[in-house]
Structure 1
Amino acid sequence: MTIYLPIAELPVNIFTLLAMGLGVGFISGMFGVGGGFLMTPLLIFLGVSPAVAVASVSTHMAASSFSGTLNYLRRKQVDTQLGFVLLIGGLTGTLGGVLTFMMLRRFGQLDLVIAVSYIALLSTIGTLMVVESLRALTRRWRGEPPMVKRPGAHPWFLRMPFKMRFRQSRIYVSVIPVLAIGFLIGFLGALMGIGGGFLLVPALIYLLRVPTLTSVGTSLMLTLATMLAAIIMQAVLNQTVDAVLGLILMVGGTIGAQFGTRAGQALKAENLRLLLGLLVLGVGLRVAYDQTRQPADLYSVTINERAR
């Protein structure tokens, strides 16, 4: 069954979109990520322009994050206090990302920036997560105790002023790095169409030392809020949100996230981080391959946005 996407100006099979929404929603709920780092490249592979893919995928991430957040809230694995502090920086970053998106699109550099950013971010973060997870699994197989750092051995950026105690996460840190992390996640989410979870979860675990499951639940909460803001800003400022595409992805994402959340809570923390790292690295390598291989059409014609 084929459906026409009005903003993307592309006919696609509705069942293909539903399957994509289900699959990415499952991954979103399992790993606590928005799923945009996977859904945006998939839509681009399907023929949707990067500008429309980035803007429209925010609806899918908002829906799947809402479903996953409810599950983690019921299990009391969301640090709402930490989430609200992250949100202050996240909303500011979202506005900056949307304005940067608009500027790059006007100068015709948006597609290139999105592709290069995906390759750099996904490959780097994925490699770091895989290496760290393999080390943790190796220690467990050898029967060695996990590496536990002393409570007072915090990095310098956590010892900055304006400290705040987050009881759910059992941490006492400066709000400055927390706000900075939120800003970065919001900025990248709006500019690249990623929920930021694949960055936020490692940041919460390795930088702020938040427990893994609490990091996943809090990440989903922040993703939900920043993606709702991104949808409104992209629709008003750039007119690139395809409501039909977003609605189909939302239906699949909401259903898939429910099953993914249950699957993620049944896995051990080390296995969860390893699987997420492999997934992130794999997507980064696929984007890099598509950018380096010879295209089917060597020449293309595009509309100069500045000339409009």
Structure 2
Amino acid sequence: MTIYLPIAELPVAIFSIFAMGIAVGFISGMFGVGGGFLMTPLLIFTGIPPAVAVASVSPYMAASSFSGALSYLRKGMVDLPLAGILLAGGGVGTVCGVALFTWLDTIGQVDLIIRLSYTVLLGGIGFMMLAESVRAIIRTRHGGKAQVRRPGTHSWVMRLPLKMRFRRARIYVSTIPVVALGWMIGLLGAVLGVGGGFILVPALIYLLRVPTTTAVGTSSVLTVATMAAATVLHAASNGTVDAVLAFVLMIGGTMGAQFGARTGQTIRPDYLRLLLALLVLSVGLRVAFDLVRTPADRFVVTHVETPE
């Protein structure tokens, strides 16, 4: 059964897209990640134009993160002042990202930049996660203990000016790196269609020394806000949000996340990180392969409007 995507301007098998939403939702629930960094490349692999894939994943990410954000808010695991400053930077980053996306689209380079960015981003993160998880497994097998970094440990970040105390996160830190982190996540979300949690959470934990549960909860709030803003801006500026595609992905993702969360609770954390590292690395390598392989259609005819 096929369905026509009005913005992508092509017919797709609805059950394939639905199954993709279930699969990525399952992975998101099992590993505790947003899944946008996997959904966008998978949509591109199926023939969806990268510009439409990035914009249409934004509402999927906002919807999939909304329930998690509410849950963390109810449990008091969100530092609202920290989230507010991150959102300030994230809002500016989202506007900058959409402007950059629009500019790249006008010069015809948005597809190439998206593919190159995913190759570098997923490849780098995948290798780092793989090395860290292998070291953790080896350390566990030899009877070693994981190194725990206490909140509030001093580093170069702590010596920056404009400090502010975040009581829920138990840190006293400059607002400069907080705003910078929010800006970077907003920019990545707008340009690549990723929630940024797989970057923001480690940064909050290892750079700012925020407790893990508070970092995850605060990150989920930022993901909802930045992805919702990116959806509106993409729809208004570029018209690349395919509502039909996003709706099918949302339904599948919501269903898959429930089963993934149950499965993830039965797997050891170190092996869970190893599986996620291999998954991220494999997707990054596939995107890199698509960049260098000979395309099926070597010539593409496009219509370019010129000013009169």
Task: Please give the TM-score of this superposition, normalised by the length of structure 2.
Answer: 0.91
* Equivalent residues of 1:21, 1:60 under 8 A apart: no
Q: Secondary structure of the equivalent of 2:298?
A: coil
CA distance in 1, matches of 2:255, 2:176: 36
Could you say which residue in structure 2 is the equivalent of 1:112?
112
What RMSD over aligned residues (CA atoms) do the two structures have, in Å?
Answer: 2.3
* Equivalent residues of 1:63, 1:253 under 8 A apart: no
* Equivalent residues of 1:68, 1:261 under 8 A apart: no
Overall identity of the aligned pairs, in %: 63
Q: Could you report, residue by residue, the CA deviation over 1:70-111 in whole angstroms, capped at 9, with x for unpaired residues? A: 343444443333222211111110000000000000011111
| Residue 129 (1) aligns with residue 129 (2) | yes
For 1:242-257, what aligned pairs fall within 5 Å after superposition? Answer: 242-257=242-257
Could you say which residue in structure 2 is the equivalent of 1:173?
173
Could you say which residue in structure 2 is the equivalent of 1:49?
49
Amino acid at match of 1:64: S
Which piece of structure 1 moves more, 74-83 or 59-68?
A: 74-83
Q: Could you report, residue by residue, the CA deviation over 1:111-139 in whole angstroms, capped at 9, with x for unpaired residues? A: 11111111111111111122122222322
Could you say which residue in structure 1 is the equivalent of 2:140?
140
Task: Please give the TM-score of this superposition, normalised by the length of structure 1.
Answer: 0.91
Structure 2, unpaired ranges of 5+: none
Cα drift, residue 148 of structure 1: 3.8
Could you say which residue in structure 2 is the equivalent of 1:33?
33
Amino acid at match of 1:84: G
How many pairs align? 308
Could you say which residue in structure 2 is the equivalent of 1:10?
10
* Equivalent residues of 1:32, 1:197 under 8 A apart: no
| Residue 275 (1) aligns with residue 275 (2) | yes
Structure 1, unpaired ranges of 5+: none
User: Cα distance 1:255–1:273, how it changes in 2: closer, same or farther (>3 A)?
Assistant: same
CA distance in 1, matches of 2:150, 2:79: 23
Amino acid at match of 2:41: P
Which piece of structure 1 moves more, 234-243 or 291-300?
A: 291-300
* Equivalent residues of 1:56, 1:242 under 8 A apart: yes
Could you say which residue in structure 2 is the equivalent of 1:284?
284
Amino acid at match of 1:133: S
User: Cα distance 1:17–1:151, how it changes in 2: closer, same or farther (>3 A)?
Assistant: closer
* Equivalent residues of 2:152, 2:209 under 8 A apart: no
User: Cα distance 1:17–1:160, how it changes in 2: closer, same or farther (>3 A)?
Assistant: same
CA distance in 2, matches of 1:51, 1:99: 13
CA distance in 2, matches of 1:168, 1:272: 28
Could you say which residue in structure 2 is the equivalent of 1:200?
200
* Equivalent residues of 2:152, 2:171 under 8 A apart: no
CA distance in 2, matches of 1:48, 1:131: 33
CA distance in 1, matches of 2:210, 2:273: 14
Amino acid at match of 2:292: T
* Equivalent residues of 1:68, 1:257 under 8 A apart: no
Could you say which residue in structure 2 is the equivalent of 1:58?
58
* Equivalent residues of 2:151, 2:170 under 8 A apart: no
CA distance in 2, matches of 1:17, 1:67: 22
Amino acid at match of 2:97: G
Cα drift, residue 174 of structure 1: 1.7
CA distance in 2, matches of 1:12, 1:45: 12
Could you say which residue in structure 2 is the equivalent of 1:162?
162
Amino acid at match of 2:115: A
User: Cα distance 1:210–1:37, how it changes in 2: closer, same or farther (>3 A)?
Assistant: same
CA distance in 2, matches of 1:78, 1:302: 48
CA distance in 1, matches of 2:261, 2:68: 6
CA distance in 2, matches of 1:261, 1:218: 19
User: Cα distance 1:217–1:124, how it changes in 2: closer, same or farther (>3 A)?
Assistant: same
* Equivalent residues of 2:8, 2:49 under 8 A apart: yes
Q: Could you report, residue by residue, the CA deviation over 1:240-262 in whole angstroms, capped at 9, with x for unpaired residues? A: 11111111111122232334345
CA distance in 2, matches of 1:122, 1:250: 23
| Residue 95 (1) aligns with residue 95 (2) | yes
